[in-house]
Amino acid sequence: MEVCPAQALLRVHKDRNRVISTVYLSRCGYRPCKRQPEFFSLIPRTAWAEVAARGVICGRGSRSSKTFKPKKNIPEGSHQYELLKHAEATLGSGNLRMAVMLPEGEDLNEWVAVNTVDFFNQINMLYGTITDFCTEESCPVMSAGPKYEYHWADGTNIKKPIKCSAPKYIDYLMTWVQDQLDDETLFPSKIGVPFPKNFMSVAKTILKRLFRVYAHIYHQHFDPVIQLQEEAHLNTSFKHFIFFVQEFNLIDRRELAPLQELIEKLTSKDR
């Protein structure tokens, strides 16, 4: 049975008052966790572990031979660690609109950096469980439905956009994002080190490209997501992502067009 992305919200679990979860992401997902000692979301405490377990049991992600890089944790006592704790507390309230707001007195760049890392981790986990469905044969081009196709270029290694399969595109994308997050000149983790002047521009590009992975999953792989019973996790993660980028105008509305109908359904009750 085919389910269009706009119907995805209907499958969200009825229990709206989810308890905050803190789950280590060490062995599961497509690429390693970055910078964060903990992963936080509105999804129940065991949910991400269950997602990973289902992926392992069903063989999802086995196609990739990639290994995880060492985690770059945020040390306890640091300001970024305190921001993570604040995010946990506000996410636990169940109000995503409030959870994404800039905490009073905090630096916008720091807040965007912490959340960008979080969304990268979330998308790693979600895509990592369906990689067996996203192959060169099933997805010869990176697309989000019949109207939207993406070509890859990073401006450095690949300067001119190239047409490639979805798994290749996403591999390029995740590798590129990981490199940006690991760059201390772009995402400084040490206290007192300022963010560069072009930080917000880089963050916007990262989030714009991460959106394309959500769009590809919804349009091309939502049936496997349902089979793995991950639709509630996917919807919650995407709703959090959309509220955040809307709050700070981080993605142009035109870029969101592939999932506009779903976005309207997910956000209509929270305006």
Question: Can you spell out the DSSP letters for 197-227?
Answer: TTHHHHHHHHHHHHHHHHHHHHHHSHHHHHH
- All domains of the chain in start order, with CATH: 5-270 (1.20.140.30)
Looking at residue 88, its pLDDT comes to: 56
pLDDT at 76: 61
Question: HSE of 103 in the Cβ direction (CA atoms, 13 Å)?
Answer: 20
**Cα separation, 95 vs 175, whole angstroms:** 32
The confidence score (pLDDT) of residue 267 equals 87
What pLDDT score does 183 carry?
94
Q: What is the pLDDT at residue 82?
A: 63
Annotated binding site for Zn(2+): 134, 139, 216, 221
Predicted structure pTM score: 0.75
- Give the least confident one: 69-73, 112-116, 176-180, 217-221: 69-73
pLDDT of residue 44: 42
Annotated binding site: which residue ranges? 134, 139, 216, 221
User: For 215-235, what is the mean pLDDT?
Assistant: 94
Q: What is the pLDDT of residues 129-154, one digit of tens each?
A: 999 999 999 999 999 999 999 999 99
Q: Above 70 in pLDDT, residue 53?
A: no
Nearest residue to 178 (alpha-carbon basis) of 87, 12, 64, 66: 66
Mean pLDDT of 16-25: 27
